Amino acid sequence: MNKNHLTLLSALASILLSACGPSQAELAATVTRAAAEQAATRTAAAPTATPTFTPTSTPTATFTPTLTPTLTPTSTPTATPTFTNTPTPTATKKPVASVTSVPTAQIVPTSTQETAPQKPTVSISVYCALFGNSPSYVEVDQPVVLTWVWRAATEAYRQDYIDAASFSVQIDGQNVDVSSAALALSSQSNGFFASWSLPPRTFAAGTHQSVLSVTLSRQITDGFDSNNDGNLNTDGPGLTTLPPCDIIVR
């Protein structure tokens, strides 16, 4: 309840209390006075609003740049392997005994013809038919040495044959160079031997034939009596062709 209501109630209470005493005119005056006081009270209570100017700030538009993020590729570092050299253990050398080399005799070939060392060399008489060894068999690319021999009862008879004889060898009808034939001298209990050997050669697969021809410049003897007629064997002078030897290569 406010102050104006309290003043009005007080005035009404005063009127009631004095109803028996004051006159109508007094009551009217009291009521008028109370109303005037109430009005004055209301007027005093109601304050007069005085307008006050309050400045209002007007916001000024400010341009704020908008940053658009740009994607910048970032390179990812690649790990580079690092190799660590592991030291290799060094073997400790043991002392080696000094070896003195022995000079090896140099063998000078009597022929430039190539041989096939992967197979063993075989010797065949150019007149193998005289001994029942025709045909003789060899392998392809197997080195073959063609040989012929003269036997005499003495060294003098052997040397006489060497000095008087000249030879011709044919293989498959073609003359062979016999100047490269090696001469070997030997002796056994049954006589003195002179042996000739051509350089090793190889044959292609098939059948081949060798033929030896001997020309004696004079008559010679080997010093033997083969038919036991009391006369020494004699040969020459002239040309003698010995039976051929067949060689089968397979």
- How sure is the predictor about 118, in pLDDT bands with cuts at 50, 70 and 90? confident
- How sure is the predictor about 29, in pLDDT bands with cuts at 50, 70 and 90? low
- Bigger pLDDT: 240 vs 64: 240
Residue 110 domain flag:
no
pLDDT at residue 207, as a whole number: 97
**Residues 18 and 130 reside in one and the same domain:** no
pLDDT at residue 219, as a whole number: 97
Residue 78 domain flag:
no
Q: For residues 191 and 235, what is the distance between their CA atoms, to the nearest angstrom?
A: 18
Residue 102 domain flag:
no
Residue 81 domain flag:
no
Mean pLDDT of the chain: 73
- The per-residue pLDDT for range 73-88, each reduced to its tens digit, is 444 444 444 444 445 4
**Cβ atoms of 172 and 244 closer than 8 Å:** no
Tokens of 103: 């000079």
Domain region containing 23: 3-44
**Residues 38 and 140 reside in one and the same domain:** no
pLDDT above 90: residue 151: yes
**Residues 128 and 241 reside in one and the same domain:** yes
Angle at 45 between CA 42 and CA 46, to 5 degrees: 90
DSSP string for residues in 131-164 = GT--SEEE-TT--EEEEEEEEESSHHHHHHHHHH
Query: Is the entire prediction scored with pTM above 0.75?
Result: no
pLDDT at residue 112, as a whole number: 47
pLDDT at residue 104, as a whole number: 43
Angle at 96 between CA 93 and CA 97, to 5 degrees: 165
Tokens of 249: 């290569």
Residue 67 domain flag:
no
Number of domains in the chain: 2
Residue 9 domain flag:
yes
Q: What percent of the chain has pLDDT over 70?
A: 53
- What does the DSSP 8-state code read for residue 236? -
